Copies of this chain bind each other. A is one copy, B any other.
Amino acid sequence: MLISQVSQLSGTPAATIKYYVRSGLLPAGTRSGENRTSYDESHVERLRLIRAMLEVGKLSVSSATAVLAALDDTSKPIAETFEVAQNALARDAVADVSEPSEESFERADGVIDRAGWNDCRDNVGRRILAQTIDGFARAGHTMSDEYLDRYAAAADIVAAADLDAVGAIADPSERTELMVVGTVLGDSLSLGLRRIAQAHRTAERNL
């Protein structure tokens, strides 16, 4: 199909499609003659994924490129692809932040141990957790272990829901894609729901 049709089917302006191709986010179409490039259904699908990552997931173009490269490498086991994607997805969240303190890493490990999460010491989330504990301290607040453990219990519920949704899909590449999409969009889901739950509880307590 022509770029105009891809544009119409995906709801993406032709200039944006060309920009994604230049950025390496979207594979180029096939030259099918003088000044003529052909695209197919795979371009339309990939465009939906790109827009979900950039617009809803708020990923940078470079992080989105890394996630798509991990998705496309079918030689890796799913767990490994997922780790690459997690790191790329976390890059935007942890950029430009100073190294967490030893003390915060220790507190993070305490939370991880009490949650019963094994073999997760290399996970990028451990660093984000330690940085956030440091952030609270820098802002003059110390969060109790009980507070952190309640957040961990909530994260466990969310991760179980994610893995159940992923496990229900048979096709491996579709399954990996949902893991990545779910990681990006699940963060927005948590963020939005937390705002509503906070407003409800604030009203409830007459604060």
Q: Does A21 touch B at the CB level, under 8 Å?
A: no
Contact between B58 and A138, CB atoms less than 8 A apart: no
Tell me whether A136 and B52 are in contact in the complex, defined as CB-CB below 8 angstroms, given that A154-B158, A161-B150, A207-B167 are known contacts.
yes
Contact between A159 and B207, CB atoms less than 8 A apart: no
Contact between A195 and B125, CB atoms less than 8 A apart: yes
Contact between A154 and B152, CB atoms less than 8 A apart: no
Chain B CB count within 10 A is highest, among A57, A118, A158, for A158
Measured between alpha carbons, how far is A147 from B56 in the docked complex, in Å?
18
Measured between alpha carbons, how far is A49 from B141 in the docked complex, in Å?
10
Contact between B51 and A192, CB atoms less than 8 A apart: no
Interface residues of A in 66-124 (CB under 8 A from B): 78-79, 82-83, 86, 90, 92-93, 96-98, 111-112, 115-120, 123-124
Q: A interface vs B, CB < 8 Å? A: 45, 48-49, 51-52, 55-58, 78-79, 82-83, 86, 90, 92-93, 96-98, 111-112, 115-120, 123-129, 131-132, 134-136, 138-141, 143-144, 147-148, 150-167, 175, 177-178, 181-183, 185-203, 205, 207
